[in-house]
Amino acid sequence: MLTFDLHDTTAVVTGGSSGIGLATARLFLRAGAAVALCGRDEARLQAAQRQLLEEFPQARLLAHACDVLQREQVEGFARRVEERFGGADVLVNNAGQGRVSTFADTSDEAWTEELRLKFFSLVYPTRAFLPLLQRSGKAAVVCVNSLLALQPEAHMVATSAARAGTQNLIRSMATEFAPLGIRVNSILIGLVESGQWQRRFEAREDKSVGWAQWTAALAARKGIQLGRLGKPEEAAQAIFFLGTPLSSYTTGGHVDVSGGLARHI
């Protein structure tokens, strides 16, 4: 099991109440960091908090309801983190979800919504936490992005285009923030078992098919070379690497977490 002493670190995870974000919060807590997480649904957030406090009774943990697309709510979250922990060293921009739609069936409203989600879920938290990160001396921003940024899928046309755009934005932020002592990187994930896939599994047509069989068939259909979906913990480990001094000489880069789904070199 990966461990690392982060008692002097505060990590902020957007979308920390489920899936990859929750696994990331767990990893930082295990290493002794203070963790602040947000999500929109209060009940889900409270459940995540209870679960983490059960696992880490001594945890320095803040769970704050906040929609990353509401600028004032994000600013309020940053103020609470500062009041509670005095600053922030790591920002994990993770909140979000994908959109399944082809060019033919994506309306103007759907395009606007998707572009707004993908861009502003990075812009608002990064802007709000920037003053805190600047004071850190070891700051890192890690953005959870998708392999779709480099390898688009026609059935997720708007998400793919938006992911390519944000990958470009992430590179520019790395350039602008390097003199401020802030590293900026991303992970590019393929298919990771979490809320999104759980929801699609629950909506499957043939209810006699179980989770293991359904995900194995999905991995085969997609051509995932490792033959399975990724675990949220596997994405979290890459986030942890990019968020901590383990990657102190890496900025403007990305780590592939796609199980060999990526076809480019």
Residue (of 166, 158, 219, 169) closest to 190 by Cα position: 219
Using CB under 6 A as the binding rule, whether residue 243 contacts ligand NDP is answered as: no
Residues 126-165 vs ligand NDP: string with x where CB under 6 A? ------------------x-x-------------------
Task: Out of 6, 52, 59, 68, point to the residue binding ligand NDP (CB under 6 A).
Answer: 68
Binders in 166-225 for ligand NDP, by CB under 6 A: 189, 191-192, 194-197
Binding residues for ligand NDP, total number by CB under 6 A: 29
Q: Which residues touch 203 (CB under 8 Å, ≥6 apart)?
A: none
Dihedral, 229, 235, 237, 242 alpha carbons, nearest 10: 150
Residues 26-65 vs ligand NDP: string with x where CB under 6 A? ------------xxxx--x---------------------
Give, for 139, the enclosing helix (H) or strand (E). Answer: strand 139-146
SS (H, E, C) 160-210: HHHHHHHHHHHHHHHHHHHHHCEEEEEEEECCECCHHHHHHHHCCCCCCCC
Instruction: Identify which of residues 137 and 223 has a Cβ nearer to ligand NDP in the complex.
Output: 223
Neighbours of 203 (CB within 10 A): 7
**Interacting residue ranges for ligand NDP, rule: CB under 6 A:** 14-15, 17-21, 38-41, 44, 67-69, 94-98, 144, 146, 189, 191-192, 194-197
